[in-house]
Structure 1
Amino acid sequence: MDAVQGTLDELGTPLHEVTFVVFDLETTGGSAAEHAITEIGAVKVRGGEVLGEFATLVDPGGPIPPFISVLTGITDTMVTAAPKFSEVLPSFLEFVRGAALVAHNAPFDLSFIRAACAAQGYPPPANPVVDTADLARRVLTRDETPNCKLATLARLFRSSTEPQHRALADARATVDVLHGLIGRVGSLGVRTLEELRGFVRAPTPEQQRKRHLAEGVPGAPGVYIFEDARGEALYIGKSSNLRNRVRSYFTASETRTRIREMVGIAERVRTIVCATALEAEIRELRMIGATKPRYNRRSRFPERVVWLKLTDEPFPRLSIVREVKDDGGTYLGPFGSTRSADDARTAMHEALPLRQCTERLSPRITRPACALAEIGRCGAPCEGRESAESYSRHVRIARHAIDQDAEVVFSAMEARMRRLSAEQRYEEAAVDRDRLAAYVRAAARMQRLRSLTRIPQMIAASPSFDGGWDIHVIRYGRLAAAGVMPRGAHPTPYVDALEATAETVTPGPGPTPAASAEETECVLRWLDLPGVRLVRVEGGWSVPAYGAGRLAGRIERAYQATRADRREGRPLR
């Protein structure tokens, strides 16, 4: 039998024979777990011809946020008579059957489709996926386009449809962008769907050229720093195996656009070998906070956290501050934003008649009371109606709610939410739920942090992969030393030597006196790992028996119930 050489077309599905369904969603927000779909639009094309379109508004099961209505033009009135997505989903799945799915920033749109499938008991779509945003980043240069937004690409490829944050219009514009990009990759030898998808996943030329930067990297735990030609840190990371992690930046597995861009700029990779994985994690946090590399997205600004402070004065009040001082105040936090701190403060004010004015008050000087006194929300110490001794009872309860027992705030807010729900004021109840969550989460986090940060010294060990032990010295919640004890060795000399050479830590004020909250949380996560053993502890290690941690689960269950309500179209609880 004569051998027959296969054609290129036999190696995959030629692009001109592929049926693409280009789709777009409009939603009430950016999270598939928290938000809902308001519109879906899809266009089916093959060989450059439109075969059909699918479009409908969708009832999200709740109000559309005002800024979303401004952005999309979709209002609550428009979706009142629209079907719910549970009714639309079967038709959409039938429409896309056997086609390759295309979307601009496909992971976003697909996350909503997959969440809807999971909620309705359908298997998620197994269709091949093409992301035009990712493809554009691979094909186009900065000289051609300043960014890869859909509107920018639609202008570049002279789309006949202008994107306008409406699903069908954006899908039509994405069709033109897809055809334009296919034309570009065709000149690079891409002829089949399989080649198109492989083209996106392949390492960029810059990644391939920079592979030599991973040479000589040790296979040990530590921190790696990508640096530019001037020695400036571009990106800092950590790994339990530096060699494997650094090499991955130069392979197809690294698909993050900003990281691929960073690799193109990098001129060297510097590594710092650490004794243990925990030491590497802590060093990474400290170095990111100190150098603020522009390609790192998290942990760059630990100094931007805020605190809720119960002041130390004759008539204390709750104040939002950026710095913890040794001034006699009681602190709750840290919070990631002023808004979340203000939410927690509002929750506490609902339970406790603490004054809300900002002036410093003296028992000897009075001034007219505000409206809060008239509605019973404040005892009006400013006007002399409430003495410092009487007011101090509220302060003691507030301190107890911050440090020990969150029940007084939780009960007051829960009662208010029940009352609002009974009056069908569900949106107001949801706002109060968010405020309570901000307070409970912050109190639970702080109480857990303080359980460790008040301990002058703790030495703990965990088993390592080679049969030895990783040993850490922790002082006031700060990692002061890390070391490794080999298998079969007697622990006392190693522990004594590590303790003697550990960093001297002088605690400052507040719940996190010696390290950032993130660092102490890293240590706490390590202490929770299976097999960790406490070697030496100065003092006790405990959290309040009636602390906020026992209430955090109830808060999370309330959020889960709300998500279920949204999926089923019920009023928010």
Structure 2
Amino acid sequence: MTSTPTGTSSRSRGSRRRRPARSPRPRSTKAWSTATGRRSVPPSFYGFVKDRGPVGAEEISTELLRLPELNGDARAHVEKLVEGDPRFRWDATGALRTVDAESLPLDEAPYVVFDVETTGSSAGKGGITEIGAVKVQGGLVVDRFSSLVNPERPIEPFVVRLTGITDRMVSGAPTSSEVMPLFEEFVEGAVVVGHNVHFDCSFVAAARGGEPLPNPILDTLKLSRTLVPGLKRYRLASLVSHFGIRTVPNHRALADAAATAEVFLKLLKLLKSAGVGSVGEAVGLKASRTRVKPQKGHLAEPLPRTPGVYYFVDKDETVLYVGKAKDLKARVRTYFNGGDGRRKIGRLVQEVAEVRYTETETELKALIFEDREIKRLLPRYNRAGRGQKASWFLELDGNEPYPLPKRVPRTEEAREGVVRLGPYRSAGVLDTCVEALGRIFPLRRCDGDAGGEACFYGQMGRCAPCMGMGRDEYREAVMEPLVALLRGEGGEEHLKALVAERGKLAAALEFEGAARLRDLIAGIQRIRLARSIVSAEGVQAVVAPSTEPGVVEVFVLSNGRLVAHGGFEPSDAEGLELFAAEALDGYDDEIVGPRKADEARVVASYLKRQGQPVEAVRLSAAGDLAATVLRVAELAEAAAGDSAGA
């Protein structure tokens, strides 16, 4: 049973005042009273058997299916209907009954993984705007359910920006009293699954008059915290990234449900490896905080709780994997507790016979040392560290009337009139950056035919042609400031606006939306930082506040390699001049040549995580550092003041 949500970004002809068409209802084989939301025909097959069971095949065929006398073939007919459906069992008397889902083995139970989008308030004050679900059985998605829902109340503006669902889109959609009975049928007899599922269930219960769903419930958020300890974050996007899942959540119900379903299938494997056999046992894990039985955990015990680099070594003294950690013992433990579902890590753990380590003074030194060791040793399990090349550009084609930023491979040749930024390593970061730019600038979203109705984005003021913006105005108001923003030559006010919006979402307890906006902001900041640090020519000094109060860190880089690193008080002009002079005199072109590790990217990644002001300056003389250090210290002090006053 699938219903396609309404709302599209394509342009439609006609007057802007045209009344929106009534949205299609979710398809169903039943009839429902739109006035009361109650059944107007006999209940579903599952409901009939559950209410009357155990029930004979003759009774099912005559009273539910309304079939004529089958001359003794009723059992065969009903068997065909329930074949392969784990929700039903024939008992010793030949009658059919339903099965309690909690008693089913994990790999036999039917699951419905769902997600809702809402107006933005709590379940008591808000309403559902979209519901999406996928039915999973035997490790496969066997059915889908999706519908927009008219919440009969306004959608909060920040939710519109987050999900793209507008009041206009849902104005003609079915109400919750119409959608809920169909959703109830879709989940009958199944285990209900979701990420932070009790939030979604609270809205479903409110839509059902305060009555919660009777189904067993599994929460992928709680399961992942039990089965995959050691992650920094457990939001859906983080788990999708951790497990290497291609389906990306995008704050639309069906897409998020599909991504959650793939995460859940990974967690099912971990549940079974932990000795959990039934749905009931998995439900019990929520409260018991049971951990997976450790594997080779003794190998982590000798490690210190300090920054450093660790080496996984096999029985033949071969280094299998090199990693870095802020806390060596805590990081290595995560490999041996059975809590990582990636197949590669499972194989690695089986081969490990010894863990060696080298302590470093700081996390950054661990990052740099890890990079150098991977290049030196080429461990079999460090595929990501083997000379990964920057292979993507961000391009704007000035030959087009309304240029759009897009990711292109490095193999494409540059053309006249095309602005090209890069190269960059991460396609994902570039895609996130492009998505964020669509929130900052009114990029072209449609063909902009004159006389047509504004497209979906145009209705939100986010499509230049629909807003009546001419081509020259588009270049001046969109293309030029967009390029300046990505080059780090201006546009900070745009980022500040996004940061302020993220703060509003967090204050409203919309943490998933705030996290998504944070990722978009980070995408742009990483592109800016990469250009100012990684792509710069000559010897560069990168200055950032230290985690130690009153200290500023200076990183000297040349040709992609870290030449020197030190921490200074902002007023220590003499120490800074001596440091700069030694850095300029002491490096060797043979050491810092492009054939060596590209450590500038490691430094850029480290600085981005710190979330502090960063400035880069071309280092040509020993006195170049002092003014930059003072400026960064002032920016850090101002930022701290803003945070204290917030």
Normalising by structure 2, we get a TM-score of 0.38
Normalising by structure 1, we get a TM-score of 0.42
